[in-house]
Amino acid sequence: MFGEQVGFGCSAYSISEHHGTPNGRDGKEGDAYSRTPAGVHFVRPCADTRTGATDTPLPRHTREGYGRWVATTNTTFSGRIGRVPIRHLSPQQPEHRWPAKAFVGEVVPFAATVFREGHDILGADLLLRRPDGSVTEHPLHTGAPGTDRWETDALVDVAGDWSWQIRAYTDDWATWLHAATVKIEAGVDSEVMLMAGIELLTRAAKLASGTPAQRVLTNARTAMKKTTKTPAERLAVARDPRVVSAVAANRLMSLETLSESIPLRVERTRAGVGAWYEFFPRSEGAKQKKDGTWVSGTFRTAQKRLPAVAQMGFEVLYLPPIHPIGTVNRKGPNNTLTPGPGDPGSPWAIGSADGGHDAIHPDLGTVADFRAFVKAVHKNGLELALDLALQCAPDHPWVTEHPEWFTTLPDGSIAYAENPPKKYQDIYPLNFDNDPEGLSREILRIVTYWIELGVRIFRVDNPHTKPLSFWEWLLAEVRRDYPDVVFLAEAFTRPAMMQSLAAVGFHQSYTYFTWRNTKQELEEYLTEVSQVTSTHFRPNFFVNTPDILTEYLQFGGVPAYKIRAALAATASPTWGMYAGYELIENVARPGSEENIDNEKYEYKNRDWAAAEAEGRSIAPYITQLNAIRAAHPALRQLRNLRIHWSDDEAILVYSKTMDARFTGTGRPDGLIIVANVDPHSVRETTVHLDLTVLGLEPGGRFDVTDLITQERYTWGADNYVRLDAFQNPVHILRIDYPKGV
């Protein structure tokens, strides 16, 4: 048996009567001999960790004599620790309410604190159960000295519900070999120690029955029995490479203990990896007539932009809302309250006489046109992400059909949306407390409708303004029937809500990266998202949005745009940009962090080809970044980011590596990113690397290639760098590992 399938909770242990291995060495039940002579200690759930209620009451204690406590009768003790303690298992979500998350192709770090009394040598394994029920074993290795932390990495390769346990045990052979070496060298109890070794070889030979290792172990036992040899010569038999290999294949365990089973939800790769590009379909192909009025772009004209998006290396095309736009309180250019007759309004003001969330704006086309657009997106190697904005224009059909879905003020009017100092008079927020079931079911219907039309990714607008319990329910409902659907949370909000949205099921989230610009800010934030919250929170590093044009971009020029794109593309496996970024559209509406003449409120016709021909576009640089991402699997991971050091306050240094076991090429993949985060200067400094993190020997030298410039350098632990923000502000250095590393 593989222990007990449990949810979350505390633990107890008992001695199992089962005398085979938990699933055998190959994941099957019923081996003839146990590697542990005393059976297996299973850690079992015994409590609801949220309430502390146990299924077996803890013993009551009474005083009997001075300083002595004894358990009273009619109680059963249920311990919470195994014979070999296994604690602090990871990955798990905080509070253990929902499964930790991973994506197909992700290398997941597993760890636990394993220890026991005394000086015996321990061992530990990860038992990883796939969705089909098969189990693989992965030996753990010790982490930082003195921490009792045991670690290993494993790649998950199929979507579904996985689970895992840690098996800890006393390593009888290693314990004996250490003690025997010490005692025989000192001439103490030599014969007794050799007899103990002979018994262990007998056990190992039984485990190896029917394999070539059985003969090796039997011969070793015979050789160790030869009293004509010195104790040292007899002990040397145990170090023979053939014996070492045979024992490693038939490990000798005692006090074998299994942790509780921990769930791990593995989602499809796009849930954690992707390069996103956002454009407004109404602007692609839009034309301004001589009288100043506009003809909207359509799904058909927007198709013409798809090859260029794909050629830049993007993988997801994200569209803002494509629904009818309200006419009541419609916003004009630059968020004014005085729209002209031809102003298109904000796509986020959803709903009019033409329909609501399940309708398509008539200027864009029909349902058939949308289907054709989806097909064209896929033909160009892209996936389509659609905006899910749960809010309404004042003339949305819901306003009259379901007024209970909104907040009515004392004067009888409906409250519009506000995010002080911003006011959205053209948008009514939803109220989930008047008819939660009716509203929730309608939203599920809408989401299902678009899924059936071919949408598999939703970018959710402002999810933090809706109840968390609603999202937990909706995401579970969708996952049950459409497990491949991905939800991105656009939640620029407080950490508790942002993290909780991820915890209940959002696959990825916008982040604070947009406002983390200094070296210190970036070091802290990159460490947080890659190490602290990566069990459940997956960042999508958008460099800009229609709502966000940071001061860093407004005043940093081309260097700032290159720096932010390079950081986003290399630090996070998922990143994105809004159209116009490649053209350095950096003029803000006065007093705001939004572009002037914002595309949310008007059409924008860009001449992409002319900009690139005139050198006004960084599209070639963006293309280069995405090509580097595609070529290096280490960049498509999150948890492998490690910060290094420099002597300059503006030079950020980090690395990403991937072991040869996981790259698919048989060779390790490693990159060092060195960025000048000051877009206004030339910086010279010394960079300091932890070579062990890079999989290299301390003190060694190695070659690196700058994947932007193709320049080659020989580096070591300490290296001079010069980064000119106006030329090449970021090194993306490929480690050219020597053969055999």
- Residues acting as catalytic residues: 461, 490
Rounded Cα distance, 507 and 457, in Å: 10
Q: Give the C-alpha separation, 174 to 252, whole Å.
A: 9
Q: How far is CA 724 from CA 568, 586, 651, 728, in A?
A: 19, 21, 11, 6
Find tokens 């907040």 and name the residue: 407
Q: Is 119 left (phi over 0), alpha (psi -120 to 50) or beta?
A: alpha
The first and second tokens of residue 688, run together, are 């300091």
Question: What DSSP letter does each residue of 261-290 carry, written as one string?
Answer: PEEEEEE-GGGT-EEEEE--TTTTT-EE-T
Cα–Cα distance for residue pair 563/595, rounded to 1 Å: 19
CA distances from 13 to 16, 58, 127, 584 (A): 9, 14, 18, 62
Q: What distance in Å separates the CA atoms of residue 539 and residue 537, rounded to the nearest whole number?
A: 6
3-class state of residue 583 by DSSP = helix
Residue 618 CB contacts under 8 Å (≥ 6 apart), including other chains: 558, 561, 562, 565, 582, 584
- Give the Å distances, CA to CA, from 558 to 9, 229, 301, 498, 726: 53, 78, 30, 31, 8
368 Cβ partners below 8 Å, 6+ apart? none
Cis-peptide into 91, omega within 30 deg: yes
Neighbours of 503 (CB within 10 A): 22
